[in-house]
Amino acid sequence: PKYLEDLFLQKSFVYANVPYRIKKYEDILKNPKSTIDFEQDQELEIHKNKSILGEDATLKVNQKNEIHHVTFLEKILATTLSKLSNFIPEGGIWMNTQRPEWNDANNALVGNGVSMVTLNYLSRFLNFFKNILEKSHEKKVEISEELASFFQTLLQIFKDHEHLLEHSISNNSRKKIMDALGNAGNTYREQIYDHSFSGHFKKIDTSEILNLMMVSLKFLDQTIRVNKKQNGLYHAYNLISYTENSATISHLNDMLEGQVAVLSSGFLSPNESLAVLEALRKSDLYRQDQNSYLLYPNHELKGFLTKNNISESEVLKSELLTNHLKSGNKSLIEKDVANHYHFNSQFKNGDDLNKELHALDINDGERTKILNIYENVFHHKEFTGRSGTFFAYEGLGSIYWHMVSKLLLATQEVVIKARKDGNSVEVINQLIGYYEDIKDGIGAHKSPKNYGAFPTDPYSHTPLHRGAQQPGMTGQVKEDLLARWGELGILVEEGCVKFDPFLLKKSNFLEEQNKFEIT
């Protein structure tokens, strides 16, 4: 039972010597889609040292030229502080490291995207370790002095702004917190990149670590709360727009991933979880023919001729665009024979337009106005990737079975917790009903005609226009195994295995020999 706690003080862990460098915070702000540099000289040095040190050459050494060994608690803190330094109040965790999350079909969210999915799982993560620390007898722990400084800075930032949680956070306050956290992360990274760890350690009170967990959880909880939508669902990803002194959050369409994350977070009560499951069943995410759930609502894509059309009222907002039309200058805009207005078709995106505008002698206000008109026409900032343009894999109309199994497991966790906490039989039975319904949708019992393949074989997804596609075992198997253990009532608590198979149905068992046929 005390295995994780015992690891807290053991310096048995190391850091990887990764030959990539995250750019400075000020540079990330300038272009959040290009934030990482590959350090080729460092990569060559690592390979050179492998002939002498073996795989140890891939590990971080400190200023004493020793492999830097740290405790498990330090590794947990490093992960946590990294995420918290990219926290944007009421938005989520900023996706600014050129990587999407679970669903790589949303890869275009990189830079503009802010993840409520990661925030929900961070909330769960912090609550888990908070419970362990609260039971720990250790009063102090040693962590690298560089990380200790990072830790103290973040703790102070959250404390200094805690009073803002009494009301909705303003765009100005959001940017201040975002900058403070981002610069703290930058200071830590630059120290390690340029000088590595000193090799010295600092003792900090476990009560201080608990303080950080508790105050940061207040911010995370408030962010989850304000990301509830009017339809009863929760935002999965948001978009960030910012100026020097302001940061604005805007929202995207419903996503199944967001509902799974909030159900799994542990933040919701059983009644609140029940409300999410009810809203999910009534939403556009539900696909009746498969009795299951899409990754995102299906919608009709615009035809080619409907794109790149600027309304006359938008054109008239800009003196420069109006003058270009009068003079016949087509470098920015043109008017066709049907009196429709279009941006120069050579512009791939707003960056191309911006380069053209910078070559002209215009003020920043006019340039910003034209860039805003361009964004209002194309909505490039809202582009998520193939999730919004493809018709298979993780695209439009697709059920991705791994995420449905994640929904199943998250719902089961809610059921088990509701029972453990002594909630009413009525609420528990309603939750079980949704659990069984989700399980039926995944259904190994489906006919091959309905499923589109043998239902006992693993397939990744089912697009709207065909049966199950892309045979092969995805990460879905993990969730299904865990859910099955839950049905069998297998629980591990305080080092003991317990059995409480209340989810197991009599119909799961054969009362006599039988033959199973797929027709």
Element (H, E) at 194: helix 171-195
Assign 336 to helix, strand or coil. Answer: coil
* Distances 144 to 76, 78, 85, 126, 137 between C-alpha atoms, Å: 13, 10, 18, 20, 21
Q: How many CB atoms lie within 10 A of CB 258?
A: 24
Bridge partner list, 61: 67
pLDDT in tens, the chain (519 residues): 788 888 888 999 999 999 999 999 999 999 999 999 999 999 999 999 999 999 999 999 999 999 999 999 999 999 999 999 999 999 999 999 998 888 888 888 999 999 999 999 999 999 999 999 998 888 999 999 999 999 999 999 999 999 999 999 999 999 999 999 999 999 999 999 999 999 999 999 999 999 999 999 999 999 999 999 999 999 999 999 999 999 999 999 999 999 999 999 999 999 999 999 999 999 999 999 999 999 999 988 888 889 999 999 999 999 999 999 999 999 999 999 999 999 999 999 999 999 999 999 899 999 999 999 999 999 998 888 888 888 877 788 999 999 999 999 999 999 999 999 999 999 999 999 999 999 999 988 899 999 999 888 889 999 988 899 988 888 899 999 999 999 999 988 888 999 999 999 888 888 888 887 776
For residue 73, give the amino acid letter.
L
* Distances 398 to 75, 294, 449, 473 between C-alpha atoms, Å: 37, 6, 17, 17
Residue among 210, 219, 90, 115 at smallest CA distance from 158:
219
Residue ranges of alpha helices (H) inside 379-459 are: 401-420, 425-442, 448-451
Q: Tell the residue number behind the tokens 């540099």, with chain if given.
A: 37
Look up the pTM and report it: 0.93
